[in-house]
Amino acid sequence: MKKTEDVYLVNVDASELIIKNPKILRVLMGAQYIKIDFGYIAPWMYDRGGWIRIAPYTHIQVHGSKKKYALKEAINIPLAPQQFEFESTEDWRVFSLLFESIPLKDCVIDIIEEEVPSLDDFNFYNIKLKNVTEMVLRG
Amino acid sequence: MNSVLFVRSGNNLLFFEKKSVNLSKSAFRRYKVIDSVLRNSMNRYPKMVDFMEACHSKLDFYPSEETIQKDIANMRLPYPDGFDAPIRYNRAERGYEYTDSEYSLLGVSLRQEEIDAISEAINIIRSIGGTRMSDKFNHAVEKILSSTLEKANVDENKEPVIQTMIPPTSRGFEHIELIYKACREKIPLSFIHFSYKKRTFNHILLHPFLIKEFENRWYVIGYSELHDEIRTFGLDRVTEPLFINRNYHFIDPQLVHSYLNDVFGVFPIPGAKKELIQIHVSQLGTHYFQAYPLHESQTIEKENEGTSFIRFEIIASVELARYFLSQGRHVKIVKPKWFKEFTENLA
């Protein structure tokens, strides 16, 4: 039986993603939240690597449902209009987004930063979450 | 003789620091007497007079009733002001008792020379380590020493007489305790890894078995599920490691032994096996290899003019190749041929 404080490491298949930067690296699901870890590499096309930020109204949608799961916390990435400026095109950053919890079962989700996205927005579609079984232990 | 103070409460062993429990030597000695009287199974409910007589018998002075009452009150105080001693007056039996039979207040004695020896060890570890690892050890030992009634003579103001290179704390070192626990207790880890060279991120599921320090850099070595082989990861490139509740992939003990003893550095060259590596070394270089052997297996065969052939039984690593390269004209790799070519390609 899944307890409310348990957190699960989820197999994530984001192979269909067109946007590879940031890359979805790890998804942790619990009864309180879903946490998605991203890795971002400062791109060469921007002077000094450019900047990153995330819109506070970014949300998750689970396929087959219209409910929006709101962003609760952003770790290591500022909420817009604040932004993190890179210093060079060699820089990199791991950041995490915590959303309201979604049902603890296999599903396909979209992460939506902008409903009508530009190439710079962090929108991700068709992320398959599988095997919500593997518990993460606390240190 | 000084005393180190431990208090056992259930399964927990608590250490009390002198700073927190500020008591005089005589008070502490009375506490030990009171504790021994309370734990005497022949007299389960000692009275005030029993404590006073025990003090008289063991400490050679007769404390007042008020003194013993104050001592008991102080012992009852919660940590860090007191010792959390569960002492109560049993009205029915008209005597005192410990309500927790597991509780005991123990005195462990250290002689001055033993304290001095520990103090010296702390100073040496400070000099050699200078990292959080040594800080942790340092803190633990100082915690014990600080609870002695006469504090150890660890002189903060004295300039050290041993100095080694002490780098600032590196990124990722904050995970060392968690990774250490994972290695020791065989717990698989999930973490995010960034490769500086390939500029790629990966989610790594690692079954770690070894933490290794090399040239002031820290690494974790284990079986990586992604790579399906043993891999080494620099702690500076590890982000947010987590314990995972899955079966641990045990590594052949022979292989672990090999990683511990047969590798110079941390990144063995893929496919490399333990084998004879032979180099030819200049006169000057020979002096240094003699003074600072590179590996336990090192043997030197000197030539008439002071140059030498030096041999190692070792698994060739990237670090070994780089080290030989850094010696310039003083070191030439003789064999094996493949390692000679590998090293030349690194240049």
| C-alpha–C-alpha distance, residues B128 and B137, integer Å | 13
Taking the Cβ of residue B333 and every Cβ of chain A, the question of whether any pair is shorter than 8 Å is answered with no
More confident residue, B35 or B111: B35
Look at residue B143 in the predicted model and tell me its pLDDT: 52
Question: At residue A115, does pLDDT exceed 90?
Answer: yes
Q: How far is B243 from chain A (nearest CA, A)?
A: 5
Q: Is residue A121 part of a domain?
A: yes
Q: Which residue is closest to A137 within chain B, CA to CA?
A: B243
Question: At residue B90, does pLDDT exceed 80?
Answer: yes
Question: At residue B291, does pLDDT exceed 90?
Answer: yes
More confident residue, B28 or A40: A40
Look at residue A73 in the predicted model and tell me its pLDDT: 97
Q: How far is B8 from chain A (nearest CA, A)?
A: 25
Look at residue A100 in the predicted model and tell me its pLDDT: 97
Q: Is residue A2 part of a domain?
A: no
Look at residue A139 in the predicted model and tell me its pLDDT: 57
Q: What's the pLDDT band for B168 if we cut at 50, 70, 90?
A: confident
Architecture of domain B173-261: Roll (2.30)
Taking the Cβ of residue B242 and every Cβ of chain A, the question of whether any pair is shorter than 8 Å is answered with yes
Q: What's the pLDDT band for B77 if we cut at 50, 70, 90?
A: confident
pLDDT in tens, A65-93: 999 999 999 999 999 999 999 999 999 99
* Residues from A in contact with B at Cβ < 8 Å: 9, 23, 25-26, 28, 37, 39, 41, 90, 92, 94, 96, 134-139
| Fold type of domain B274-346 | Alpha-Beta Plaits (3.30.70)
Question: At residue B333, does pLDDT exceed 50?
Answer: yes
| C-alpha–C-alpha distance, residues B279 and A100, integer Å | 62
Rounded to whole angstroms, the maximal C-alpha distance in chain B is 94
Question: At residue B140, does pLDDT exceed 80?
Answer: no
Chain A residues close to B239, C-beta within 8 Å? 37, 94
Expressed as residue numbers, the domain containing A48 is 7-136
Chain position carrying tokens 């190692």: B312
| Domain spanning B2-109, CATH class | mainly alpha
Chain A residues close to B245, C-beta within 8 Å? 134-137
Q: What's the pLDDT band for A138 if we cut at 50, 70, 90?
A: low
Contact criterion met (CB < 8 Å) for A135 and B192 = no
| Cβ-nearest to B243 among A23, A28, A136 | A136
| C-alpha–C-alpha distance, residues B322 and B347, integer Å | 8
Question: At residue B332, does pLDDT exceed 90?
Answer: yes
Taking the Cβ of residue B244 and every Cβ of chain A, the question of whether any pair is shorter than 8 Å is answered with yes
Number of domains in chain A: 1
Q: Is residue A104 part of a domain?
A: yes
Look at residue B133 in the predicted model and tell me its pLDDT: 56
Question: At residue A48, does pLDDT exceed 80?
Answer: yes
Chain A residues close to B208, C-beta within 8 Å? none
| Cβ-nearest to B245 among A25, A137, A139 | A137
Which of B12-16, B164-168, B180-184 tops mean pLDDT? B180-184
Chain A residues close to B243, C-beta within 8 Å? 136-139
Q: Which residue is closest to A22 within chain B, CA to CA?
A: B201
Contact criterion met (CB < 8 Å) for B245 and A26 = no
Query: What ranges do the domains of chain B cover?
Result: 2-109, 111-166, 173-261, 274-346
Look at residue A128 in the predicted model and tell me its pLDDT: 92
Question: What Å distances lie between residue B167 and B204, B308, B334, CA to CA?
Answer: 28, 34, 35
Contact criterion met (CB < 8 Å) for B201 and A134 = no
Q: How far is B81 from chain A (nearest CA, A)?
A: 30
pLDDT in tens, B209-241: 999 988 888 999 999 999 999 999 999 999 999
Mean pLDDT of chain B: 82
Q: Is residue A73 part of a domain?
A: yes
